[in-house]
Amino acid sequence: MASPPVLPPAVLRALRHLPAPLHPPLTLLMRAGMRWMDEGAPQLGAALAFYTMFAMAPLLLIAISVAGAVFGVEAARGQIVHEIQGVVGKEAAKSIEAMVESAWRHPDGLQAALIGGLTLLLGATGVFTELRRALNRIMHVEPDTSALGALVKARLTGLALVMGFGFLAIVSLLLSAALQAFSALMPGAVVLGTVLTLLEFAVSTAVLGLAFGALLRWVPDRAPRSGAVFAGALTCAVMFNLGKFLIGLYLSRASVASSYGAAGSFVVVMLWVYYTGQILLFGAAITADASEARGASAPSPSA
């Protein structure tokens, strides 16, 4: 097993001046940042964003289908598009909705339906092959020696995870509906509104943590330790929720969409997908370092 990155002596000396309880998390974050840079995460994220853009419509379509089995397709699609709109803005959300609408159209004839369904599954799961390569590199995992076996494993894992994300969408919709219904009972309670907002953030973080944790646990060719996965997934979920606000603020101030004309909505979505990929790869770096640190000795800040 590879040893975790060793922090420079100057950083270790600086950490000595901070309270002792802060040493482990700060050390982990800085080591993860070093790994993130050393393994070329920005370039890996760019490739991942490219593949994700082509897989986005099939991924959303399957998630909507699973959630729609409980809530109805229109309700599930409306809620998911609403969540996307809160992240990337109205115009970009319309572009994504148009992509899903185009993929939703049922082809005529059994043969066309089968071909369309197979293409849909290949598109939805293809991004997991690239994600597996990226996570293997960040986590220093040797890839499966069988190219065909690795491809089949990545596709099947991707399909299972997509179905699982559909289930998480159901859970998220149920909890959001419950919180909104409870809030409607007491519309004038300011304190209650604040509590419900915090609860909604906690629920969102928990659901996102499960999704990121599933990716970090099951996509690489070697599963990391459960405790390390928890640390990485929690970091991803918190960063995603914070980034949703910060990126939204940036996009509203920077006029990115208008700067690129007709391609503006596409660029906005690509930026958000790229940022999400970087969050996941940083979470993978945290997961790898937390897992490796248990089996390797490293200098402590107090040394």
What predicted TM-score, i.e. pTM, was given to this entire model? 0.82
Q: What's the pLDDT score for residue 299?
A: 38
CA atoms within 13 A on the CB side of 177: 11
- pLDDT tens-digit map of 99-126: 777 766 655 555 555 665 676 667 667 7
How many helices (H) and strands (E) in the chain? Answer: 11, 0
Q: What's the pLDDT score for residue 109?
A: 52
Q: What's the pLDDT score for residue 247?
A: 76
Domain boundaries, the chain: 23-293
> At 297, which helix (H) or strand (E)?
none
Q: What's the pLDDT score for residue 32?
A: 93
pLDDT lower than 70: segments of the chain: 1-5, 103-117, 119-121, 123-124, 145-151, 154-155, 159, 162-177, 179-193, 251-252, 254-258, 262, 295-303
* Alpha-carbon 26 to chain mean position: 23
155-187 as b/e: b if 16+ CB within 10 A: bebbbebbebbbebbbebbebbeeeeeebeeee
Residue among 76, 71, 70 at smallest CA distance from 104: 76
Q: What's the pLDDT score for residue 278?
A: 94
